[in-house]
């Protein structure tokens, strides 16, 4: 047991998966939880992954030694203000937001003296959301990036690190701004692009009836999975990681136009060289253990 009482604010995919994982590995003495919507609280009660479900964040954090802010990035400030007067001295507050600079700006000023704030971002998720979507294995072999500042208590960081390691994750530390740039490339911009492509297909669907869905091939199928992620979470990500997103989108558009021009002018050498270069990066990801290399993607009988 690492924490006596863990309070989950927000009961979506990440928080419910944390609850399942903490229970599986006996990492928390007690787990409390709350969510804004009565329906979510009711589902959480029914599923029973928390010991107590409260109507307010204030009640939920009472006597907790770890508080997890698992709400959309745009809601972090209000939640932090609400719980601040009720936090126990010595407690640690962490978050699971996909943007770190903006969350630190919103939350840190609300945290009272004697309470530790350790911002974090588990790089794990599915396209599903809500309390029913959680499962204990979500964090297995995934990274959680903690972005403590110079003032953050190293003991609080170490304890939080061992919780995440207990839930199966690998933990690393990074500067918040650097986190936001790297994630813009590896996650935020790919999501925006997938949303865009699926939107284009949806427009065309009115012309081609259900064919776009029926004949959804590999490329598009993966895009729709990405583009099915929670709209509120992603709206907040783009609004709060604006600078890095616009910077990377600018680079993306430049490169896309160069490829588009190669198609228009029939420059096959340019296309071939580009596609050969990108193929190599995939090898790196498999070697880094961030995806599997099964020939059939886990479908079919050879698995």
DSSP, collapsed to helix, strand or coil, labels residue 139 as helix
Spatial contact of 11 and 40, defined as CB atoms under 8 Å apart: yes
**Contact set for its own copies, span 204-223 (CB under 8 A):** 204-205, 208, 210-223
Binding mask 156-185 for its own copies (x = CB under 8 A): ----------------x-----x--xxx-x
Q: Which of 82, 117, 189, 206 binds its own copies (CB under 8 A)?
A: 189
CA distance 10 to 41: 9
CB of 166 to its own copies, least distance (A): 16
Considering only the stretches 41-49, 111-119, 157-165, 286-294, report the one whose residues sit in contact with its own copies under the rule CB under 8 A.
286-294
Q: Which of 25, 143, 165, 173 binds its own copies (CB under 8 A)?
A: 143
**Contact set for its own copies, span 251-280 (CB under 8 A):** 251-253, 255-256, 259-260, 263-264, 266, 268, 271-272, 274-279
Spatial contact of 166 and 199, defined as CB atoms under 8 Å apart: no
Residue 108 CB-half CA count within 13 A: 16
**Contact set for its own copies, span 34-63 (CB under 8 A):** none
β-pair partners for 143: 170
What CA dihedral angle connects 213, 138, 177 and 191, to 10 degrees? 0
Query: If you count them, how many residues does the chain have?
Result: 303
Q: Would you say 55 or 255 has its CB closer to its own copies?
A: 255
Q: Is residue 188 involved in binding its own copies (CB under 8 A)?
A: yes
């Amino acid at each position: 047991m690492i924490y006596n009482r863990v309070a989950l604010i927000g009961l979506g995919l990440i928080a419910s998966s944390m609850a399942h994982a903490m229970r599986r590995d006996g990492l928390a003495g007690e787990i409390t939880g709350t969510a804004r919507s009565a329906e979510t609280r009711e589902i959480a009660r029914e599923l029973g992954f928390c010991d107590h479900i409260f109507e307010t964040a204030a009640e939920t954090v009472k006597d907790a030694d770890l508080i997890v802010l698992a709400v959309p990035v745009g809601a972090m400030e209000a939640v932090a203000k609400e719980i601040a007067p009720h936090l126990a001295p010595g407690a640690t507050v962490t978050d699971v937001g996909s943007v770190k600079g903006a969350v630190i700006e919103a939350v840190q000023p609300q945290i009272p003296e004697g309470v530790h704030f350790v911002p974090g971002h588990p790089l794990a998720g599915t396209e599903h959301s809500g309390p029913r979507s959680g499962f204990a294995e979500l964090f297995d072999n995934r990274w959680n990036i903690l972005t403590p500042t110079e003032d953050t208590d190293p003991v609080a960081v170490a304890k939080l690190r061992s919780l995440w390691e207990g839930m199966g994750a690998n933990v690393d530390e990074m500067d918040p701004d650097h986190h936001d740039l790297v994630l813009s490339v590896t996650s935020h911009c790919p999501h925006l692009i997938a949303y865009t492509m699926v939107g284009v297909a949806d427009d065309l669907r009115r012309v081609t009836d259900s064919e776009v869905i029926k004949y959804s091939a590999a490329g598009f199928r993966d895009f729709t999975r990405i583009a099915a992620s929670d709209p509120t979470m992603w709206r907040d990500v783009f609004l709060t990681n604006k600078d890095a997103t616009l910077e990377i989108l600018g680079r993306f558009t430049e490169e896309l136009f160069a490829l588009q021009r190669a198609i228009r002018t029939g420059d096959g050498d340019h296309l071939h060289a580009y596609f050969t270069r990108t193929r190599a990066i995939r090898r790196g990801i498999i070697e880094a253990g961030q995806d599997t290399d099964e020939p059939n993607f886990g479908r079919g009988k050879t698995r």
